[in-house]
């Protein structure tokens, strides 16, 4: 009971002092603004205008219908116009009023090849022609329908191997960045908190009333609450921004992502947070902390860089590997989840691995913190602190 | 060195208390009454023995002054009461039980290294520390406000600590050490950095605490204050306790007496007749001489009389300051010899 009370008092102080501080509020407003700006920019760059297709002369019977069906599957909008002549369609393309025109089985484009349009038009026309061919051979409408419904998914899969890999990469990358920011900021809060107590020497007084481990626990838990507030704000504003700027580009963003983001934040935070506390406890003054915290910062940065590189291909081997390594998993796995690529057992498994690692690291960090926090006279090395007695 | 030696050496001179035969018994009785009982405490840092077999008691309603040069082991001893130092040997007991975290609820502490949360409002801060000592939240807040108000900080309750002057920050520090109505108050150099007004305030506060039954252990190297305030003093040098007892005991413990002789003519002939090592200070018409034992005293008096009439012949104990200096010097000489 006494233990719980001590931890709670420290936790409450930590939350009161920071949650209401101007710095915290400003940081939150800034990051939310930044997220909206990023989403706006992505949407702006990711041209979402409808594909405008012109038709000249005879076309396969269901060409237009098939095109619209395909477009819907790939979440692309199409506008179809009919033109009298090849010339009028060509003028429309040149003036930018039209993306492509189909004339007698040919596709007319501007000189640059617009892959998206070709990928859309080719299968549509192949399919429509196929249906006409089958009818010509004498199959009934229902037979054609059956044949199509059997064949369609296969042919689409093959012709459009990864229709929205771009947006998925973007989402995976953004998730990595958001998780990194969240863990980094929370780590910085822990670091500052430890410094404040150590450099002001107030820690001597606190530890004359409660044990060092409860001070550490209260601090870590208190800042965890702030961190969760932050993650919910970050991920929530990302969701909000996504829905405002058109969620079609962001396939797997959903409320459940928010839940997993909070869990992943906690895992990453527990893994890194206590180490930040231990590193900060080695330095009597803030100036000395750069060197004592260097190992932590290096691991954190490397993990971040590895995760962001792997996020370039969310279903690639690298992404799979880093989503299982405890130090990278808190960044990499949310990326894969957001990209809609992770399987449930992978998620649960890597959460478990990271959770176990976090507990081990927490215990090691606690040993360092408890031994070094009371020494306010000189900079300690990790090794010295490990074998120190009070 | 036997810590009780100082007391025993005093008795042949009749100055000290009768600590002879029943000494062991008296100490045994004292231990059962003592709230805080430190026994044979030893702490080493590598080669350095910071605290060497230190024993001391703090009784309810008494003020114990812990005196010694810098680095003598005062802070290490005081910090070990709060578990901030893990001793290599010895025990610390509170009302007979080994001191643990839950006992510290009834302790108040002012560390030598002062420090509070710079950005926390002072009433909130004092109340926070009270709550850490298990004072219920509402009561903690009330006591914090009352205490700060009594220390003239009533209009600053919601100011963050860093906005206060250095002297006022010290007051907040004092409030923190008192806010749980401690039964034991451990103050490490509490008078350091205090202005004269605050020194008086602190003396009053100590008196209040003691009359309310608290035991106080405080360290200081301002010996005049120690002399005025303490019921008992403990002198520690190089980790070892070299003297203890009432102020008078300690002053008497060295066995030395100081004799001041004043005449109505130049005193030089008298000084010339004395052992030059024993002459401490002199003016043209007076001199202060150190003597040990009745025979030496008689000898000095005889020599002074031979030279003619005496205006003043004053015979007294060394001041605490003089006594302290000779203890420290003797100890340092010993260290040099053994080294």
Nearest to B89 by CA among B139, B51, B138: B51
The per-residue pLDDT for B165 is 92
- pTM given for the model: 0.73
Nearest CA in chain A to B85: A390
At A196, the pLDDT band (50, 70, 90 cuts) reads confident
Q: Which domains are seen in chain A, by residue range?
A: 3-43+164-387 (no CATH), 51-150 (3.40.190.10)
The per-residue pLDDT for A147 is 67
CA distance B82 to chain A (A): 5
- B241: which 2 tokens? 């306790």
Nearest CA in chain B to A21: B119
Partner residue facing B117 (CB), from A202, A208, A390: A202
The pLDDT mean for chain A works out to 81
CA distance B158 to chain A (A): 13
Percent of chain A with pLDDT over 70: 86
pLDDT tens column, B149-184:
999 999 999 999 999 998 899 999 999 999 999 999
> Average pLDDT for residues A28-34, to the nearest whole number?
86
Per-residue pLDDT of chain B (339 residues; tens, 9 = 90+): 444 443 333 333 434 444 445 666 666 655 556 689 999 999 998 888 999 999 999 999 999 999 998 889 999 999 999 999 989 999 999 998 899 888 889 999 999 988 999 999 999 999 999 999 999 999 999 999 999 999 999 999 999 999 999 889 999 999 999 999 999 999 999 988 788 888 888 899 899 999 999 999 999 888 888 888 899 999 999 999 988 999 888 888 877 888 888 888 888 888 888 888 888 888 888 888 888 878 888 888 888 888 888 888 888 888 888 888 888 888 877 766 654
* Residue that wins the pLDDT comparison between A309 and B11: A309
CB–CB of A6 and B133 under 8 A? no
The per-residue pLDDT for A166 is 63
> Which chain B residues have a beta carbon less than 8 Å from that of A206?
129, 132
CA distance B104 to chain A (A): 6
The per-residue pLDDT for A349 is 94
DSSP state of B159: S
The per-residue pLDDT for A199 is 85
CB–CB of B114 and A201 under 8 A? yes
CA distance B185 to chain A (A): 12
Separation of alpha carbons A270 and A361, rounded Å: 9
- B253: which 2 tokens? 């413990």
Query: Is A209's Cβ below 8 Å from some Cβ in B?
Result: yes
User: What distance lies between CA A235 and its chain's CA centroid?
Assistant: 9
The per-residue pLDDT for B26 is 64
CA distance B240 to chain A (A): 20
Partner residue facing B132 (CB), from A6, A200, A204: A6
Give the B window 57-116 contacts with A, CB below 8 Å.
Answer: 79, 82-86, 101-102, 104-105, 107, 109, 111, 113-116
* Residue that wins the pLDDT comparison between A61 and A197: A197
Q: Which CA distances in Å does B316 have to A183, B47, B248, B288?
A: 71, 41, 11, 10
Q: Which CA distances in Å does A21 have to A26, A226, B122?
A: 9, 12, 16
Angle at A19 between CA A13 and CA A23, to 5 degrees: 120
At A103, the pLDDT band (50, 70, 90 cuts) reads confident
Query: Is A387's Cβ below 8 Å from some Cβ in B?
Result: no
Burial of A266 (0-12, 13-18, 19+ CB in 10 A): buried
Which residues are CB-contacts of B153 (< 8 A; sequence separation ≥ 6)?
Answer: B122, B164, B168, B171, B172, B175
Give the B window 124-163 contacts with A, CB below 8 Å.
Answer: 128-129, 131-134
The per-residue pLDDT for B162 is 94
Query: Is B118's Cβ below 8 Å from some Cβ in A?
Result: yes
The per-residue pLDDT for A156 is 37
- The bridge status of strand B97-98 relative to strand A106-108 is unpaired
Q: Where is average pLDDT lowest: A49-58, A241-250, B64-73, B212-221? A: A241-250
Partner residue facing A209 (CB), from B115, B120, B132: B132
Residues facing A79 on adjacent strands: A52
Nearest CA in chain A to B120: A17
The per-residue pLDDT for B7 is 38
CB–CB of B131 and A9 under 8 A? yes
CA distance B225 to chain A (A): 25
What would the DSSP string read from start to end of A68-99?
HHHHHHTT--EEEEEESSHHHHHHHHHTTS-S
Across the beta sheet with B256-262, the strand order is: B279-282, B286-292, B256-262, B312-316
> Average pLDDT for residues A163-179, to the nearest whole number?
72
> Which chain A residues have a beta carbon less than 8 Å from that of B176?
205
Separation of alpha carbons B133 and B120, rounded Å: 18
pLDDT tens column, A329-356:
998 888 888 777 788 899 999 999 999 9
Residues facing B36 on adjacent strands: B58, B94
């Amino acid at each position: 009971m006494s233990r719980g009370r001590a931890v709670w008092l420290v936790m409450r102080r930590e939350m009161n002092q920071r949650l209401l501080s101007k710095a915290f509020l400003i940081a939150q407003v800034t990051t939310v603004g930044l997220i909206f700006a990023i989403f706006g920019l992505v949407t702006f760059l990711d041209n979402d205008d409808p594909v405008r297709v012109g038709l000249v002369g005879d076309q396969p019977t269901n060409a237009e219908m098939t095109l619209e069906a395909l477009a819907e599957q790939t979440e692309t909008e199409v506008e179809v116009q009919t033109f009298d002549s090849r010339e009028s369609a060509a003028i429309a393309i040149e003036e930018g009023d039209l993306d492509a025109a189909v004339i007698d089985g040919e596709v007319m484009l501007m000189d640059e090849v617009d892959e998206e349009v070709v990928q859309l038009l080719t299968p549509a026309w192949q399919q429509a022609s196929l249906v006409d061919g089958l009818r010509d051979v004498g199959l009934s409408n229902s037979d054609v329908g059956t044949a199509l419904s059997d064949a369609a998914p296969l042919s689409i899969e093959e012709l459009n191997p990864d229709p929205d890999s771009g947006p998925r990469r973007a989402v995976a990358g953004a998730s990595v960045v958001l998780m990194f920011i969240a863990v980094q900021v929370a780590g910085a809060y822990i670091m500052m908190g430890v410094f404040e107590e150590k450099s002001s020497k107030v820690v001597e007084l606190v530890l004359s009333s409660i044990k060092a481990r409860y001070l550490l626990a209260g601090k870590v838990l208190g800042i965890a609450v702030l961190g969760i507030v932050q993650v919910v704000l970050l991920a929530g504003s990302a969701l909000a921004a996504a829905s405002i700027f058109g969620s079609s580009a962001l396939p797997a963003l959903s409320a459940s992502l928010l839940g997993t983001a909070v869990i992943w934040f906690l895992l990453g935070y527990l893994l890194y947070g206590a180490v930040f506390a231990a590193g900060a406890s080695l330095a009597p003054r803030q100036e000395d902390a750069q060197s004592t915290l260097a190992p932590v910062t290096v691991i954190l940065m490397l993990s971040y860089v590895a995760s962001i590189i792997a996020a370039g291909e969310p279903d690639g081997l690298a992404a799979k590997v880093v989503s299982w390594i405890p130090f990278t998993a808190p960044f990499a796995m949310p990326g894969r989840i957001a990209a809609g690529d992770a399987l449930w057992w992978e998620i649960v498994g890597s959460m478990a691995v990271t959770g176990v690692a976090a507990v081990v690291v927490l215990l090691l960090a606690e040993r360092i913190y408890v031994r070094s926090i009371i020494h306010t006279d000189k900079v300690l090395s990790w090794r010295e602190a490990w074998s120190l007695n009070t | 060195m036997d810590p009780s030696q100082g007391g025993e050496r005093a008795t042949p001179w009749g100055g000290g208390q009768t600590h002879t035969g029943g000494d062991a018994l008296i100490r045994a009785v004292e231990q059962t009454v003592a709230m805080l009982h430190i026994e044979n405490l030893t702490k080493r840092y590598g080669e350095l023995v910071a605290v060497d077999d230190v024993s001391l008691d703090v009784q309810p309603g008494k003020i114990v002054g812990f005196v010694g040069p810098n680095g003598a082991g005062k802070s290490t001893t005081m910090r070990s009461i709060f578990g901030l130092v893990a001793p290599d040997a010895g025990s610390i007991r509170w009302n007979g039980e080994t001191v643990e975290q839950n006992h510290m609820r009834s302790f108040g502490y002012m560390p030598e290294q002062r420090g509070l949360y710079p950005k926390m409002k002072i009433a909130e801060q004092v109340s926070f520390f009270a709550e850490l000592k298990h004072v219920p939240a509402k009561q903690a807040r009330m006591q914090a406000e009352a205490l700060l108000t009594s220390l003239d900080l009533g209009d600053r309750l919601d100011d963050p600590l860093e906005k206060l002057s250095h002297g006022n920050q010290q007051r907040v520090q004092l409030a923190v050490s008192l806010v749980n109505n401690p039964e034991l108050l451990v103050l490490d150099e509490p008078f350091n950095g205090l202005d004269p007004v605050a020194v008086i305030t602190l003396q009053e506060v100590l008196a209040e605490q003691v009359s309310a039954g608290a035991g106080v252990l405080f360290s200081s190297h301002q010996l005049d204050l120690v002399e005025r305030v303490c019921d008992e003093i403990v002198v520690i040098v190089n980790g070892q306790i070299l003297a203890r007892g009432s102020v008078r005991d300690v002053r008497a413990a060295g066995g030395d007496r100081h004799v001041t002789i004043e005449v109505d003519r130049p005193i030089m002939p008298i000084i010339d007749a004395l052992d030059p090592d024993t002459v401490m200070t002199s003016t043209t018409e007076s001199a202060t001489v150190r003597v040990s034992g009745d025979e030496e005293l008689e000898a000095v008096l005889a020599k002074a009389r031979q030279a003619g009439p005496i205006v003043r012949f004053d015979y007294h104990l060394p001041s605490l300051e003089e006594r302290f200096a000779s203890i420290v010097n003797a100890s340092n000489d010993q260290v040099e010899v053994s080294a």
